[in-house]
Chains A and B, each alone.
Chain A
Amino acid sequence: MASIKDIERIALSRRGFLAGACCVAAAPVLTPVTFAAMPGDNRFVTIILRGAMDGLDLVQPYGDPAFAALRPKLGLTPDTGLLDLNGFFGLNPAASALMPLWQAGQLSFVHAVSTPYRDQRSHFDGQDILETGGADKSQKTGWLNRALAVIPRSDARKAIDINTSMELILTGPNQADNWSSQSDFSLADDEIAFLDRLYSHDPLFAKVFDEAKTTGAAADQLYADGKRGSGIADMAKLAGGMLREQYRVASFSINGWDTHVGQAGQFKKAAGDLATAIMTLKDTLGDEVWNKTVVLAMTEFGRTARENGTNGTDHGTGGLAVLAGGAVAGGKVLGTWPGLGEGKLLDERDLMPTGDVREVAAAMLYRQFDIKPSSLSSRVFPGLGFDEGSVFLKG
């Protein structure tokens, strides 16, 4: 893949100056457009955690008296490795790389938030609603794309999607670019688990897939953990490089959160990927730009409060959002904690949602880009009801 330096150089030349791989001498004379580094501009990054991230595992409410009984195998305490945040919540040690941000006041979490999506708990619909920002599936374009149109300063409307193809959140009438990192990272654990299920009803395929995971040249490409980590880092590096230059908004996805079986091992990897992505972004952006940046990581819904029978958790409702960046007034666990005890769970199974994750996003857009609250409530998140009094503006 191109080094980050190449990518920056290309990004710097509006007309696609042939500076990438070869033959500068043969290139026609073009005027490279220099973008003044605009360190005063704010940046906003969304990371979609696909598969339903278990917020109760990432930020564990060890101080809630009901938690230990709900999570006998997955629950931790500061005595068993949990990284204490505020005496009530603690961070899963798999994301320990993020602790310096917490200590520096550049990391917050928002607990018990969700989209308006209820009851069905389908990944596809949940992700569609998370990305389109509506109350149901009626919206067809992405909220981050619609937000571009209402950013008052047009030069801050440069958005980029760091995936092989444009994802729904940035799809719509407004210009957004798409850049993929060349590294094709390996499958996430939950994706492999689904393939296991897919092949389990065809004995021949099941046998061959078992062998495939450990042998052959493609095995390394598709199933190796190391390859996945470096792929995530490449993706974040690419996003960071673009944001340091003319781009102001970026989005990418991290998969691997659908932890129905053997969650402890799977979650550790996914949480590690998230920490890698955030810390790589920070390193790539440099302090000056990082201080103007908000990263919002969010998921389609949370997972059941109780562990299931296969050491995992199933689809739930209330989830967790992550806020990181120098522009975050961090070091807080935001949101209204609903409690986990008798009668506190939704349908006696899920963390009760007490806040709308769209409001978190709206608050960050308001703060980063001065978008009017009325635009946020009407065009970006129809029906949200956002104003300057939002509790999330304190985060």
Chain B
Amino acid sequence: MALARPTLAAIRYGYGLRPGQDSPSDADGLMTQLAKGIAAKDRFPREGLVGRRETATRVISLRAAEAKAAREGKPNESIRKETQREAQRIYRLDAMSRLAQAIHSPFGFYERLGSFWMDHFSTSALKSLPMRMIVPLYETEAIRPRMAGSFADLLKAAILHPAMLIYLDQDQSVGPDSRVAQENGRGLNENLGRELLELHTLGAGSGYTQEDVRAAALILTGLTVDNRALEMVYRPRRAQGGTITLLGRDYQDDEAGSQDHVRMLEDLAADPRTATHICRKIAAHFISDEPPAYMTEVMVASWKASNGNLGEVYRAMLEHPLAWENPGQKIKQPFEFVVSGFRALNLPDDNMSALLADMEGDDDDVGPVGKAMQMAGAAKSAEQRRKRAGQANALTLGALQKMGQPIWQPPSPAGVPDKSDAWLTPGQLSERIDWSRRAARLLGQKLEPADFLQVALADAATPETRKIISQAPSKLHGLTMVLASPEFNRR
């Protein structure tokens, strides 16, 4: 089956079709989306980058002060609870903003790459309370601006961001012979060094050894997080001194103003194994679980010719004939499914913020759930608010949780599974049918199933599905089946 190029572009390289949004038909169009997305302002963190640093450092210092007081026998439960509530609230608002951006953005390829790289350089908001506020900051300032430039720049920004240093315990790691280790007996933590080689650059099974893992971890010593500025900082007292050898190269602790870790990251980015690993991963994410070597080799060649320029690598993929053939080989991940569902339903932007109001139980701004319930007589009852918040959550963050992909909470540093079979399980399919029913009921009231099928899938809908949808026992079930169909769940 061959699809019209705009259909395929929207489904394979974006978050699906949305009424009123044009979809590109070639590599140039997709690369333009990427460039425009990078130039546009992201919706999270909601206070902006500077504002978020202020919020986060305030919460962190409040908690530090409380922890100190608690150690002195004067714990303050209300500060603990207040800060916890605030961080949680900020996290939920940001997560809803991330969802909203994916739903409304006209730059689908940019959005999909944002998710791809956030997953490649996984960090989790569950690691600690401050991380609820730092991970969104990380995505917006470290990851998204660098997705079209050199991989080395992206790698450095990701690895050296406080979010990564906290997530993979670099802030706990000190050189075994460092002054700090001598003073308080702390030692090396290999977590970041290991994932750097295994996940972020060379790839598992690419021939490095445990000695290399340890060497990478030693080179990284000295790096930690300054909690007052929420920035990475180099502390000589934590660093392992001397010369460390990694993959046959020597790194001096004091070289170039203690920038040995930067040279290591650049060397790893330039390693041919990294090119192979990353190119294959990109193709496996967008095209198929097992992309053919003759395609990934073209991408690797482009990587080498451009010194690891990611834009050139995407272009090599998108200009390959296979990029536009054999659609539907991948199963959408839960986030992709939910976002594309909302897009097909054409959820208006003001409804998104109102959906948020529904979730917050805010009565000034009633969203689609509140509107759909239209309970004039009891519009302000606590029961009504509770119910509305529950339904709004069930469609958004709650649904993603149940489907196994809550926002900014990857199960491990390796991110979420990317192979299709992970996302087509009995429980998963049931959750998607359930979501489809809820969404169709709340947002599909005025839609005709056949029209909706056309909007959601265009020529990607098979004749069989078209026929079955037209015969559904009710419009509601017809709409439900559009979203639950195999075609809508594949990409």
Q: Output the nearest chain A residue to B444 by Cβ-Cβ distance.
A: A165
Are A50 and B383 closer than 8 Å at their CB atoms?
A: no
Closest approach, in angstroms, between the C-beta of A368 and any C-beta of chain B? 22
Q: Output the nearest chain B residue to A315 by Cβ-Cβ distance.
A: B471
Q: Would you call B448 an interface residue if the criterion is a C-beta within 8 Å of the partner chain's C-beta atoms?
A: yes
Indicate whether A51 sits within 8 Å of B474 (C-beta atoms), given known contacts A177-B375, A178-B372, A195-B481: yes
Indicate whether A218 sits within 8 Å of B384 (C-beta atoms), given known contacts A51-B474, A204-B424: no
Indicate whether A22 sits within 8 Å of B382 (C-beta atoms), given known contacts A11-B377, A211-B426: yes
- Bound Cα distance from A204 to B422, whole angstroms: 13
Classify the interface of chain B: helix, strand, loop or mixed: helix
Q: Would you call B470 an interface residue if the criterion is a C-beta within 8 Å of the partner chain's C-beta atoms?
A: yes
Indicate whether A205 sits within 8 Å of B477 (C-beta atoms), given known contacts A10-B381, A182-B387: no
- Bound Cα distance from A20 to B382, whole angstroms: 6
- With a CB–CB cut-off of 8 A, which chain A residues contact B378? 10-11, 13, 16, 179
Q: How many residue pairs between the two chains, A and B, have CB atoms under 8 Å in the bound complex?
A: 164
Closest approach, in angstroms, between the C-beta of A33 and any C-beta of chain B? 10
- Bound Cα distance from A195 to B477, whole angstroms: 9
- With a CB–CB cut-off of 8 A, which chain A residues contact B486? 198-199, 201-202, 204-205
- With a CB–CB cut-off of 8 A, which chain B residues contact A209? 426, 429
Q: Would you call B135 an interface residue if the criterion is a C-beta within 8 Å of the partner chain's C-beta atoms?
A: no
Indicate whether A123 sits within 8 Å of B380 (C-beta atoms), given known contacts A178-B373, A216-B427, A255-B477: no
Q: Would you call A153 an interface residue if the criterion is a C-beta within 8 Å of the partner chain's C-beta atoms?
A: no
Are B383 and A2 closer than 8 Å at their CB atoms?
A: yes
Are A164 and B374 closer than 8 Å at their CB atoms?
A: no
Q: Would you call A36 an interface residue if the criterion is a C-beta within 8 Å of the partner chain's C-beta atoms?
A: no
Closest approach, in angstroms, between the C-beta of B263 and any C-beta of chain A? 47
Are A205 and B427 closer than 8 Å at their CB atoms?
A: no
Q: Output the nearest chain A residue to B475 by Cβ-Cβ distance.
A: A124
Are A10 and B383 closer than 8 Å at their CB atoms?
A: yes
- With a CB–CB cut-off of 8 A, which chain A residues contact B245? none
Among B390, B427, B468, B485, the residue within 8 A (CB) of A217 is B427
- Bound Cα distance from A6 to B383, whole angstroms: 9
- Bound Cα distance from A208 to B484, whole angstroms: 13
- Bound Cα distance from A256 to B472, whole angstroms: 11
- Residues of B429-447 whose CB lies within 8 A of A: 429-431, 433-434, 437-438, 441-442, 445
Are A20 and B379 closer than 8 Å at their CB atoms?
A: no
Interface size on B, residues (CB 8 A): 51
Among B372, B464, B477, the residue within 8 A (CB) of A165 is B372
Are B372 and A216 closer than 8 Å at their CB atoms?
A: no
- With a CB–CB cut-off of 8 A, which chain A residues contact B402? 218
Q: Output the nearest chain B residue to A171 by Cβ-Cβ distance.
A: B445
- With a CB–CB cut-off of 8 A, which chain B residues contact A127? 474-475
Indicate whether A164 sits within 8 Å of B474 (C-beta atoms), given known contacts A178-B372, A198-B485, A215-B426: no
Q: Mark B414-434, 1 if CB is under 8 A from A, else 0.
A: 000000000011110111011
Q: Would you call A74 an interface residue if the criterion is a C-beta within 8 Å of the partner chain's C-beta atoms?
A: no
Are A191 and B426 closer than 8 Å at their CB atoms?
A: no
Among A20, A21, A208, A223, the residue within 8 A (CB) of B424 is A208
Q: Output the nearest chain B residue to A165 by Cβ-Cβ distance.
A: B372
Are B373 and A180 closer than 8 Å at their CB atoms?
A: yes
Q: Would you call A257 an interface residue if the criterion is a C-beta within 8 Å of the partner chain's C-beta atoms?
A: yes
Q: Would you call B465 an interface residue if the criterion is a C-beta within 8 Å of the partner chain's C-beta atoms?
A: yes
Q: Would you call A212 an interface residue if the criterion is a C-beta within 8 Å of the partner chain's C-beta atoms?
A: yes
Closest approach, in angstroms, between the C-beta of B139 and any C-beta of chain A? 30
- Bound Cα distance from A164 to B425, whole angstroms: 28
Q: Would you call A175 an interface residue if the criterion is a C-beta within 8 Å of the partner chain's C-beta atoms?
A: yes
Q: Which 9 A-B pairs have the closest CB atoms?
A: A20-B383, A218-B430, A51-B473, A258-B473, A16-B380, A216-B427, A202-B486, A212-B426, A211-B426
Q: What residues make up the interface of B, taking CB atoms closer than 8 Å to A?
A: 372-384, 386-387, 390, 402, 424-427, 429-431, 433-434, 437-438, 441-442, 445, 448-449, 462, 464-465, 468, 470-475, 477-478, 480-481, 484-486, 489
- What are 13 contact pairs spanning A and B, CB under 8 A? A10-B377, A10-B383, A18-B381, A122-B471, A124-B474, A124-B478, A164-B438, A165-B441, A177-B376, A177-B377, A191-B480, A219-B427, A221-B430
